[in-house]
Amino acid sequence: MGYAILLTNDHKYWEEPDHDEVNDYAFRLHEGRTIAGGEVLQWGERTGYGTKKGREEPITLREDYTFRWRRYSNCLTHPRVQPYENELTRYAEFRYLLVRVPPRE
């Protein structure tokens, strides 16, 4: 059994994108997303060569994965500070994603 762990303070990872016309849409890990086993993940048609260099081949997953982000910490705990109030506090919250990866059979 293996695990993948992602820890970030960038809310763009856990928030669902507001549109699906982005080059990396297939690879998004936002909260609640499920990727089914057998689903093929590949770059969008307009992705530049430099972006996908060395990563051109599509990826096919063997298992189903549902992404559930959990709060890790908020480094600004003063009662007067509101998360996402401005650019200085936007990245105060850290969340993690833990994904269980079953062994290859």
Beta strands 59-60 and 65-66, pairing class: unpaired
The pTM of this model reads 0.77
The domain total for the chain is: 1
Q: What is the pLDDT of residue 97?
A: 98
**Residues 9, 72: Cα–Cα separation, whole Å:** 9
- The mean per-residue pLDDT over the stretch 72-79 comes to 67
Please tell me the predicted confidence (pLDDT) of residue 8: 93
The model's confidence at residue 73, banded by pLDDT at 50, 70 and 90, is confident
E strand map for the chain: 2-8, 34-35, 40-41, 59-60, 65-66, 69-74, 93-101
Q: What is the mean pLDDT of residues 94-101?
A: 95
For residue 77, the model assigns a pLDDT of: 57
pLDDT more than 70, % of the chain = 84
Residue span of the structural domain in which 83 resides: 2-101
